[in-house]
Amino acid sequence: MVGCTTVEKPNKDVLFQVSTIDALLAGVYDGEISVAELNQNGDFGIGTFNSLDGEMVAVDGNIYKIRTDGVAYLMGDEEKTPFAVMTFFEPDEKVFMTGEIDYNELQEYLDNALGSKNIFYAFRIQGEFDYIKTRSVPKQSRPYPKLVDAVAKQAIFEFKDVKGTIIGFRSPDYVDGINVPGYHIHFITDDRKAGGHLLSVQMKDITVEVDHTTDFYMTLPKQGDFYDIDLSEDKQEELTKVEKD
């Protein structure tokens, strides 16, 4: 008899997503997925934590929470998220950009350099940045306000000549309602002590490592507020207010 062994190779090109962006916009700030589960589904990602307590940065297999005090805290396995996007970061290509680049130019340049706008991309930029502006969102208590109202009290952080890592995703326009169409970027410093949701950047001569991500997995809450909210309305206008500078 001839033996046959199947070696299970994990699919690393999966975008693993917890809940939907519109649920977060509607004030669903508590979820069931833990940091331990996120770590099983990626080593790179962004999101937030239960009670909307800060911005999430997942990098090199560690998950950090940047709170409104500006400090990045390393999270333990038990911490939970209402919204997160993770993947195993394995770059497929490198995009080089020379000269001065700001946030809009980064988006325009990548839009042209990437082969298609119809798949997901994870991208990483490591280096020294002339200027970075980030924000974090304050922890909420029940009854939860909508995200647009919670973000009105965001804390802003500015960095000059800072070494760090940009953790970004580009999602297709058709994810409207599920994820953020276009670019969603977070930042963490090299010393892993600060960062946040990226609002503005000035940098020069950068290398963007890009991971083409063609599989998509979404896990929805098993219970809770998600079951009672109305997700039939278009929330693009609120999303723009919440995400942009």
Residue 117's CB is within 10 A of a number of other CB atoms, namely: 14
Q: What's the closest the beta carbon of residue 203 comes to Zn ion, in angstroms?
A: 19
Distances (CA, A) of 126 to 4, 57, 179, 185: 43, 14, 24, 13
The whole-angstrom separation of Cα 231 and Cα 180 is 15
**Residue 65 sits in the site that holds Zn ion (CB under 5 A):** no
Q: Considering beta carbons, is residue 196 or 228 the nearer one to Zn ion?
A: 196
Q: What's the closest the beta carbon of residue 42 comes to Zn ion, in angstroms?
A: 16
- Region of 83-91, 134-142, 171-179, 191-199 interacting with Zn ion (CB under 5 A): 191-199
Residue nearest to Zn ion as judged by C-beta position? 197
Q: What's the closest the beta carbon of residue 180 comes to Zn ion, in angstroms?
A: 8
Q: Considering beta carbons, is residue 95 or 151 the nearer one to Zn ion?
A: 151
Q: Which of residues 192-211 bind Zn ion (CB under 5 A)?
A: 197
Q: What's the closest the beta carbon of residue 182 comes to Zn ion, in angstroms?
A: 13
Q: Considering beta carbons, is residue 7 or 83 the nearer one to Zn ion?
A: 83
> Site for Zn ion (CB under 5 A): how many residues?
1
Residues 6+ apart with CB under 8 A from 132: 158, 159, 162, 164, 187, 198, 200, 201, 202
Q: Considering beta carbons, is residue 18 or 223 the nearer one to Zn ion?
A: 18
Length reported for the chain: 245
Q: Considering beta carbons, is residue 180 or 208 the nearer one to Zn ion?
A: 180
The whole-angstrom separation of Cα 44 and Cα 123 is 10
- Region of 56-64, 78-86, 104-112, 189-197 interacting with Zn ion (CB under 5 A): 189-197
Residues 6+ apart with CB under 8 A from 129: 159, 161, 162, 163, 164, 166, 201, 202, 203
- Region of 104-112, 145-153, 190-198, 201-209 interacting with Zn ion (CB under 5 A): 190-198
Q: What's the closest the beta carbon of residue 82 comes to Zn ion, in angstroms?
A: 13
Q: Which of residues 109-168 bind Zn ion (CB under 5 A)?
A: none
Amino acid at 71: V
Q: Considering beta carbons, is residue 68 or 116 the nearer one to Zn ion?
A: 68
DSSP code string of 156-221:
EEEEEEEEEEEEEEEE-GGGBTTB-BEEEEEEEETTSS-EEEEEEEEEEEEEEEEEEE-EEEEE--
Q: What's the closest the beta carbon of residue 91 comes to Zn ion, in angstroms?
A: 21
Contact footprint for Zn ion (CB under 5 A): 197
